[in-house]
Each structure stands twice: as structure tokens, then as C-alpha cells.
């Protein structure tokens, strides 16, 4: 994506250093940070300096390569194995993270060069897949559609293009007049902060709406399509995504609004039979209790927005049953959210 006239990816690696856009600084400032060690890359995943399925996957791939580059000659296998465990423990719900570390670890086979090449391939494929998702998803978007999305599954959530936003970008570039309702203002506000920032950069008309406004707007006929991303998709088509996705899917079914999930095939976990098997990450309660913003003078601050002394529950994701999903937009096309369709789409002959 273009930012201030320059093309950027969300995350990339040069030599043994990982570079990424600091998403915790957005939308108030645009900052690229350098991470010379795998430990620092792990920390960036854990504290959500980088977030989103594909971007987490690419960062994990680069971190795995960094660990291999850093490994001492003596005890190298143990060092790399421990590093892999540490990387995979950063965000347990995100399937792409495990997919990426496994690919780089298996490619390593004693050659750091092969590991680095594989990590770059993971990132490049993520960008290509996201672009293809945009082309297939654009087929669903009609002139004058009013589209809702939840959280951020755009360019910032992947290496480039994104998933849920990729069809929207594609539709906009093809000349369709569209309007986007941007959801997820709490707890981390990734819709309000990141999706809105992306759409503004791209010149796409949009409005930020409170998390609890989507059903009402659907009931008023103001939303006629909803596209979200995914952090993990089970073999039966159940989808784990940012907390709040489930209630949007329920409202969409009630009001007859098509509800699509956009995700690359790498997000599908064939070993996970259903959504009941997906581990849901629980994050620090302070993400609910506090909000960060800037005042009128541009000074950033964190403030308590809840009752002092009260505690909060902060599950990061929920699971939407396959029965509520109209289809899954993948790099290979739009597939049904059921076990048969997913198995057919993920057979070895269809993989790269």
C-alpha cells in the first residue's frame, strides 16, 4: 500500500533484521521499527506491534529464520527447537503462525540460507494469496453495495492487500461505488484505528460505527454484505475471528445479509475438527479497562474508561459456526464452509 507516496509491506526482512510497521502507533503516527533478534520479533507478535493472521505468519517465519541465523554451533538443534516453541507460544489462536514456523523449520535442514529463502516465500505467497482473494471476492460486490467488516483484515493484517478488505480495494479500483461500515471500536479498536486508517488512505468512503450498531443498521437495510477475516478455520468450516464476529454472523443470518469469511487456505487447520477444538487466547484485562488516544494538542495518553476497582474478561476471539457462513473467499476461489468443500480445497494436489 502507498503511504506518503511510498510502497510498503507490513513486515519484511533484510539480512537478519525484521522491519515492520508499528501498528500500536497507528493511526496517530506512522513508524517503521527494526527487530534484529528473534526474541524481539516474538515480543512484537505478543504485544501486537504486528497483528493479523498473515502478518503474524510472516513475522513468525522471519523470526524462525532469525533464530536459525542466531543459533550457536554448539547445541544448535536445541536452541532452534526452543526458539520455535517460544515463537509458537506468542499467539496460540493464529493458525498462520504455526503454518509458517513449520515451513521454515522443515526447510532449514542445516542450511540457514534455505530457512531464509523459505521465510521470504511465506511472506511473498501471503501477498499473492491476498491479491487473489481480492479478485475472487470482488465478484460478490455489486455497484452501490454497502459493506460491513469487523476488526482489521486489511493490508496491515497481512503482508499486503489483506483478506476482508482486499475485495473492497479491488471493487474500488474497478470503479464500483461502494460504502464501508467499519466495526470494532472495542476493546483494541482495530476497526476504528486500523481499518478506517487504511480506507482513508485508499480514498474509500466509510464510517466508523460502534460495535453494537451493526445489527440495527442491517435491520434498517443499510448493510447488504458483510466480509470478515479469520485467524483459524476448522476442518468443518467453523471460524475463529476477532471477538464480536459471532454476534455479527447471527444478526446477518436473521436479516438475510450474506456473511463471508475471507482467508487463505493456510488459515485452515485440517487437524482441528471443529471450532470446539480451537484454543481461544485471553488477553490482559487492561485492554478493556483502558483506552489510548491523543488529545486536541496531539499528546498521546492512556486513560481508565471503566469503573475503578472492577475487573474485566478479555477473550480475543470467538468461533462462528459454519452454518452461519455464506462462503469462504480463498486464493483458489469461493468455497462452501463445510467439511467436504474444505477437504477438497486443501488436498495436496491443490496446494503449491
| Residues 62-67, mean pLDDT to the nearest whole number | 98
CA–CA separation, 77 and 11 (whole Å): 27
| Residues 300-321, mean pLDDT to the nearest whole number | 96
- For residue 183, what are the CA distances in angstroms to 11, 15, 194, 258? 24, 38, 11, 16
What torsion, rounded to 10 degrees, do the Cα atoms 151, 152, 158, 162 define? 110
- What local confidence, expressed as pLDDT, does residue 5 receive? 85
Model confidence pTM above 0.85: yes
**Given 103, 130, 157, which residue is the final one in a domain?**
130
- For residue 165, what are the CA distances in angstroms to 24, 106, 137, 278, 320? 20, 32, 9, 25, 19
Residues 243 and 304 in one domain: yes
- Among 126, 129, 211, 231, the active-site one is 231
Does pLDDT of 352 surpass 50? Answer: no
Q: Is 334 exposed, middle or buried (0-12, 13-18, 19+ CB in 10 A)?
A: middle
- What local confidence, expressed as pLDDT, does residue 274 receive? 98
Q: Are 143 and 177 a contacting pair, CB within 8 Å?
A: yes
| Residues 270-280, mean pLDDT to the nearest whole number | 96
Residues 169 and 214 in one domain: yes
Residues 7 and 144 in one domain: no
Q: Catalytic site residue 284?
A: no
Pairing of strands 290-294, 300-304: antiparallel
- For residue 154, what are the CA distances in angstroms to 227, 260, 287? 11, 15, 22
CATH code of the domain containing 346: 3.40.50.10470
The domain tally of the chain equals 2
**Given 100, 130, 160, which residue is the final one in a domain?**
130
**Given 78, 98, 130, which residue is the final one in a domain?**
130
Does pLDDT of 327 surpass 60? Answer: yes
| Residues 154-174, mean pLDDT to the nearest whole number | 97
CA–CA separation, 337 and 317 (whole Å): 19
Residues 72 and 147 in one domain: no
Does pLDDT of 210 surpass 50? Answer: yes
Q: Are 133 and 167 a contacting pair, CB within 8 Å?
A: yes
Residues 281 and 342 in one domain: yes
| Residues 87-97, mean pLDDT to the nearest whole number | 94
Residues 208 and 256 in one domain: yes
CA–CA separation, 92 and 304 (whole Å): 28
| Residues 245-260, mean pLDDT to the nearest whole number | 98
Residue given cell 487492561 in the structure block: 286
CA–CA separation, 310 and 124 (whole Å): 45
What percent of the chain has a predicted confidence (pLDDT) above 90?
93
- For residue 179, what are the CA distances in angstroms to 27, 37, 134, 260? 21, 42, 16, 17
Does pLDDT of 351 surpass 80? Answer: no
- What local confidence, expressed as pLDDT, does residue 319 receive? 98
| The three grid cell numbers given for residue 301, joined into one nine-digit string | 495518553
- What local confidence, expressed as pLDDT, does residue 299 receive? 86
| Residues 304-330, mean pLDDT to the nearest whole number | 97
- For residue 328, what are the CA distances in angstroms to 170, 229, 334? 17, 9, 6
Phi, psi of 282 (to 5 degrees): -110, 125
Residue given cell 504455526 in the structure block: 98
Taking 3-state DSSP, the helix, strand and coil percentages for the chain, each rounded to the nearest 5, stand at: 40, 20, 40
Phi, psi of 118 (to 5 degrees): -65, -40
| Residues 179-188, mean pLDDT to the nearest whole number | 96
Q: Grade residue 297 by pLDDT with cuts at 50, 70 and 90.
A: confident
Residues 209 and 222 in one domain: yes
| Residues 18-37, mean pLDDT to the nearest whole number | 96
Q: Are 235 and 268 a contacting pair, CB within 8 Å?
A: yes
| The three grid cell numbers given for residue 328, joined into one nine-digit string | 469462504
Residues 327 and 339 in one domain: yes
Q: Are 35 and 22 a contacting pair, CB within 8 Å?
A: no
Q: Are 145 and 176 a contacting pair, CB within 8 Å?
A: yes
Which is nearest to 58 in space by CA: 135, 107, 116?
Answer: 116
Look at residue 31 and give its three-state secondary structure: coil
Round the average pLDDT of the chain to a whole number and report it. Answer: 95
CATH code of the domain containing 20: 1.20.120.420
- Which residues constitute the domain of residue 30? 2-130
CA–CA separation, 252 and 147 (whole Å): 12
Residues 123 and 144 in one domain: no
Residues 197 and 172 in one domain: yes
> DSSP secondary-structure letter at 50?
S
Task: With both helix axes pointing from N to C terminus, report the angle between 95-108 and 53-70 in degrees, rounded to the nearest 10.
Answer: 30
- What local confidence, expressed as pLDDT, does residue 350 receive? 40
Residues 274 and 197 in one domain: yes
Amino acid at each position: 500500500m502507498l503511504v506518503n507516496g511510498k510502497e510498503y509491506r507490513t513486515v519484511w526482512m533484510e539480512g537478519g533484521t525484521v522491519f515492520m510497521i508499528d501498528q500500536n502507533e497507528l493511526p496517530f503516527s506512522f513508524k517503521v521499527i527494526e527487530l534484529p533478534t528473534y526474541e524481539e520479533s516474538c515480543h512484537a507478535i505478543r504485544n501486537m506491534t504486528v497483528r493479523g493472521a498473515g502478518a503474524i505468519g510472516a513475522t513468525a517465519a522471519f523470526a524462525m529464520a532469525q533464530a536459525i541465523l542466531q543459533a550457536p554451533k554448539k547445541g544448535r538443534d536445541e536452541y532452534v527447537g526452543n526458539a520455535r516453541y517460544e515463537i509458537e507460544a506468542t499467539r496460540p489462536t493464529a493458525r498462520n503462525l504455526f503454518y509458517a514456523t513449520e515451513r521454515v523449520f522443515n526447510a532449514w535442514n542445516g542450511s540457514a540460507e534455505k530457512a531464509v529463502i523459505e521465510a521470504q516465500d511465506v511472506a511473498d505467497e501471503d501477498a499473492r494469496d491476498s491479491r487473489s482473494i481480492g479478485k475472487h471476492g470482488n465478484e460478490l460486490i455489486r455497484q452501490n453495495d454497502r459493506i460491513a467488516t469487523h476488526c482489521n483484515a486489511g493490508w496491515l493484517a497481512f503482508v499486503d492487500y489483506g483478506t476482508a478488505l482486499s475485495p473492497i480495494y479491488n471493487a474500488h479500483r474497478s470503479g464500483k461505488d461502494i460504502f464501508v461500515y467499519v466495526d470494532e471500536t472495542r476493546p483494541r479498536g482495530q476497526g476504528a484505528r486500523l481499518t478506517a486508517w487504511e480506507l482513508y488512505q485508499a480514498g474509500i468512503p466509510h464510517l466508523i460505527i460502534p460495535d453494537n450498531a451493526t445489527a440495527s443498521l442491517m435491520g434498517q437495510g443499510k448493510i447488504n454484505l458483510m466480509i470478515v477475516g479469520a485467524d483459524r478455520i476448522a476442518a468443518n468450516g467453523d471460524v475463529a475471528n476477532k471477538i464480536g464476529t459471532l454476534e455479527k454472523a447471527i444478526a446477518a443470518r436473521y436479516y438475510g445479509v450474506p456473511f463471508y469469511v475471507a482467508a487463505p487456505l493456510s488459515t485452515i487447520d485440517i487437524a482441528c475438527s471443529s471450532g470446539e477444538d480451537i484454543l481461544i487466547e485471553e488477553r490482559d484485562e487492561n485492554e478493556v479497562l483502558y483506552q489510548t488516544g491523543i488529545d486536541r494538542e496531539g499528546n498521546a495518553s492512556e486513560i481508565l474508561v471503566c469503573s475503578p476497582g472492577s475487573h474485566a474478561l478479555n477473550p480475543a476471539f470467538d468461533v462462528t459456526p459454519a452454518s452461519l457462513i455464506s462462503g469462504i473467499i480463498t486464493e483458489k476461489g469461493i468455497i462452501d464452509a463445510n467439511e467436504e468443500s474444505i477437504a477438497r480445497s486443501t488436498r495436496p494436489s491443490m496446494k503449491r
